[in-house]
Amino acid sequence: MSVLTRDNVLEIKTELRARVERILVANDVMSALRWWWVPGRVEVFGKHTDYGGGPSLMGALPRGFLMAGAPRTDHRLRIFDAGDGSRFELDLSTGQTMPAQVTGWRRYANILARRLARDFPGASLGADLALASDLPRASGMSSSSALVVGLSHALVRMSGLDRREDWHAAIPSSVDRSGYFACLENGLPFGAFPGDGGLGTFGGSEDQTAIVCCQPGHLSQFSYMPVRHWRDVAVPASWSFVLLSSGIAAEKAGRAQAQYNRASLGVRALIDLWRAHIGPLGSLTEVLSADPEAESRLGAVIDQHASGEWPPEVLHVRLRHFARERPRVAEAADAFAGADRTRVGALAAASHHDADTLLQNQLPETNALVALALERGAFAASAFGAGFGGSVWALVDSVDPVATTTFGEEWMTAYRAAFPERTALSSWFAARPAAPLTDI
């Protein structure tokens, strides 16, 4: 299976390129174009750990957004979606938008453009920009974060914002850039920049880091708060990921936002208890790394002081999940580096089991997808992302692309037979870790 790299994006994504070009021509944008590739991501290990400062193991996907645009000389931002022909306009000089009711992807564009303008006064953010995507929407593959990252990065590039001294002072590296883009989405402060409402999602910066920083052919291990790169591990050449979306939208900024945020707020409640009764540490990872007895000390505090919205039984479960998932990330990276199929499979099974029983963010459909993949010969499988729907990854070991295709088709056929009501929106594709955010 060929790997999508920085050099072959336009060669491989010909259909997306044609769609982008058509909508730009239809709106009289035909010169001075710049192009960007923005991937989705697969989270292999590290479920709901990033906003607690924990680690994750991720890869960029060969599906995502292709974007093209040109700067304008006025303060008007126009964005065109080649998928359905919809558009968004923002006059940054007046704050007026079109359409007046800013919903869906337009809300993302509105929020990020206004914060960029606020954080960097005088930035010339006027632009015409078009996008097309082959990433399944709301599938747990970070379509929303890819959209925010791609639009933000394109505006930064076209405006020359990243050539300004205040940009370099605040955002000196690609890791910092991913962290800043995460704050555009979650509304948190970044350095000296104050926070705002964002999209209302209390997430971390895992998705944005994967989109900006992961490498072709490799999985990358990062930790968060702050973002730190630990290592990249090659995926063995004969291993392929097969991803199958359940057909149930996993919209952490939409339908499932309250459920996703509760998992995040549970971590915050644990940190608040530690600070109030033991000492001043910044993240749950710092808490658990403080000393070998930290988990039991925090457990005692939970028993003595937890109440109300966060009773002891709820916080004990949240702590147990975080403490068990965190060390799996480094263990899984070692297993990939050593091409240890058995170890990867065991870690994936434990990770998915804990997501189902402790995080309680799995559904009958995602549990069935894991079981069906293993029955058909995958050596590892797990749900990933926010949960409450979304997708499952499976790993198959074969140098024959026909065998991989056969596995994917049989897996999807079995799933659709078990859940015929999900047939319309379920889909699958095979993938090797691919290029990150790319200026073409």
**Is the pLDDT at 322 greater than 70, yes or no?**
yes
Specify the length of the chain in residues: 440
pLDDT digits 0-9 by tens, 71-113? 999 999 999 999 999 999 999 999 999 998 899 999 999 999 9
Report if residue 336 sits inside a domain.
Answer: no
pLDDT of residue 113: 97
pLDDT digits 0-9 by tens, 356-374? 999 999 999 999 999 999 9
pLDDT digits 0-9 by tens, 154-198? 999 999 999 999 999 999 999 999 999 999 998 989 999 999 888
Of 72-76, 129-133, 242-246, 262-266, least confident by mean pLDDT is: 262-266
Tokens of residue 166, six digits: 């205040």
What is the share, in percent, of the chain residues with pLDDT greater than 90?
86
Tokens of residue 25, six digits: 């021509």
**Is the pLDDT at 310 greater than 90, yes or no?**
yes
pLDDT of residue 254: 54
Report if residue 48 sits inside a domain.
Answer: yes
**Is the pLDDT at 260 greater than 90, yes or no?**
no
pLDDT of residue 256: 59
Burial (CB count <10 Å: 0-12, 13-18, 19+), residue 408? buried
Report if residue 107 sits inside a domain.
Answer: yes
Report if residue 130 sits inside a domain.
Answer: yes
pLDDT of residue 124: 95
pLDDT of residue 427: 96
Report if residue 409 sits inside a domain.
Answer: no
**Is the pLDDT at 252 greater than 60, yes or no?**
no
DSSP character at residue 383: E
Q: What range does the domain containing 26 cover?
A: 9-234
Report if residue 205 sits inside a domain.
Answer: yes
Give the CATH number, domain containing residue 94: 3.30.230.10
Q: In the chain, how many domains are there? A: 1
**Is the pLDDT at 355 greater than 60, yes or no?**
yes
Report if residue 357 sits inside a domain.
Answer: no
**Is the pLDDT at 125 greater than 90, yes or no?**
yes
Report if residue 70 sits inside a domain.
Answer: yes
pLDDT of residue 387: 85
Q: What is the pTM of this model?
A: 0.94
Q: Spell out the residues 6+ positions from residue 17 whose beta carbon is closer than 8 angstroms to its own.
A: 10, 66
Q: Spell out the residues 6+ positions from residue 76 whose beta carbon is closer than 8 angstroms to its own.
A: 89, 90, 91, 92, 126
DSSP character at residue 190: B
pLDDT of residue 257: 65
